[in-house]
């Protein structure tokens, strides 16, 4: 359908496209993601806004009976093949039904990270659901989202690696973070590459205590040169 001499639009399976000799606008739903690409004078300049981009849907495979609430990555992948990427770059958990952030409950989480997923023990747990951040390299940076902190970079990958602990972020940035978080996202400071796409080895990757990329194995000698490499990462947390 032609709107006027210059503008046309069409609906593709994942959104509406408008195009013009100098502007392309793409609106995706749902959740809503907006992409605007402007050509001036001959270079195409992209702009985008997508708070939810890259998150999986919420998963709730277990109920808090018996040994607790087990939302492990192994089980979730087995029961939902192809829906969770191999190397998530973030994780978030909340209570089913109420949407209460995990950090606001008094339950104990024995696992809460991108390696093993989420486990609440013992049996007094509420019922939790979890989701993972699986972005694509071409759209790496989510915009500012409600409840999420700014991106913080409190360490450099010098001798032992890059240590981005929530407690350190909170101490160095009073009032800008929190003592207990419900989610974490990690990307590189240069290039905005999601952590899961860098191929590096991470030692810690959960809201609590935070994120660590070590150049040496835990408990091993500080070898020179270190066996692993670490880029400089920055983190943001879901508070609470």
Cβ-based nearer residue to Ca ion, 62 or 170: 62
> Edge-to-edge, what's the strand order for the sheet holding 161-165?
161-165, 210-214, 204-205
Whether omega for the bond prior to residue 31 falls within 30 degrees of 0, making it cis, is yes
- 5-43 b/e with 16+ CB inside 10 Å = b? eeeeeeeeeebebeeeeeebbbebeeeebebeeeeeeee
Binding test (CB under 5 A) with Ca ion, winner from 17, 19, 232, 240: 232
**Residue 224, preceding peptide bond in cis (omega within 30° of 0):** no
In whole angstroms, the minimum distance from the beta carbon of 69 to Ca ion comes to 4
What CA–CA distance (Å, rounded) separates 193 from 190?
7
Is 127 one of the binding residues for Ca ion (CB under 5 A)? Answer: yes
Give how far the C-alpha of residue 125 lies from the chain's centroid of Cα atoms, to the nearest Å. Answer: 24
Window 170-209: contact mask with Ca ion (x via CB under 5 A): ----------------------------------------
Residues 22-61 that bind Ca ion (CB under 5 A): 60
Q: Name the segment binding Ca ion (CB under 5 A); options: 50-58, 73-81, 213-221, 227-235.
A: 227-235
DSSP 8-state secondary structure symbol assigned to residue 55? B
Contact assessment for residue 89 and residue 141, using Cβ atoms and an 8 Å cutoff? no
Q: Residues 67-86 vs Ca ion: string with x where CB under 5 A?
A: --x-----------------
For Ca ion, which is the closer residue by CB, 33 or 200? 200
Q: Does 162 bind Ca ion (CB under 5 A)?
A: yes
CB of 231 to Ca ion, least distance (A): 8
**Interface stretch with Ca ion, choices 1-9, 97-105, 124-132, 180-188 (CB under 5 A):** 124-132
- What is each CA distance from 129 to 42, 120, 121, 235, in whole angstroms? 47, 11, 14, 22
Q: Tell me how far apart the alpha carbons of residues 121 and 124 are, in angstroms, rounded to a whole number.
A: 7
H/E run at residue 216: none
Nearer to Ca ion among residue 34 and residue 96 (C-beta): 96
- Per-residue contact track with Ca ion, 134 to 153, x per CB under 5 A? -------------------x
**Does residue number 92 form part of the binding site for Ca ion (CB under 5 A)?**
no
Selected binder of Ca ion within 50, 62, 88, 200 (CB under 5 A)? 62
Q: Which residues bind Ca ion (CB under 5 A)?
A: 60, 62, 69, 127-128, 153, 155, 162, 232-233
């Amino acid at each position: 359908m032609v709107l006027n001499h210059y503008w046309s639009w069409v609906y593709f399976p994942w959104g509406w496209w408008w195009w013009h000799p100098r502007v392309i606008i793409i609106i995706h739903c749902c959740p809503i993601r907006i992409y605007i690409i402007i050509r001036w004078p001959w270079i195409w300049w992209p702009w985008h806004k997508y708070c939810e981009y890259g998150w999986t849907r919420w998963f709730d495979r277990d109920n808090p009976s018996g040994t607790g609430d087990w939302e492990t990555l192994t089980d979730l992948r087995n029961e939902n093949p192809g829906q969770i990427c191999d190397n998530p770059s973030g994780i978030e958990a909340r209570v089913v039904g109420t949407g209460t952030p995990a950090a606001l409950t008094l339950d104990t989480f024995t696992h809460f990270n991108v390696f093993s997923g989420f486990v609440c023990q013992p049996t007094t747990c509420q019922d939790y659901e979890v989701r993972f951040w699986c972005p694509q390299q071409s759209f790496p940076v989510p915009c500012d989202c409600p409840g999420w902190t700014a991106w913080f970079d409190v360490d450099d990958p010098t001798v032992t690696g890059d240590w981005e602990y929530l407690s350190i972020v909170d101490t160095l940035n009073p009032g800008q973070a929190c003592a207990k978080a419900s989610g974490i996202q990690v990307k590189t400071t240069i290039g905005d590459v999601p952590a899961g796409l860098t191929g590096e080895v991470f030692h810690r990757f959960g809201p609590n205590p935070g994120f660590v990329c070590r150049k040496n194995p835990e408990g091993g000698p500080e070898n020179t040169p270190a066996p692993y490499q670490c880029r400089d990462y920055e983190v943001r947390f879901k508070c609470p």
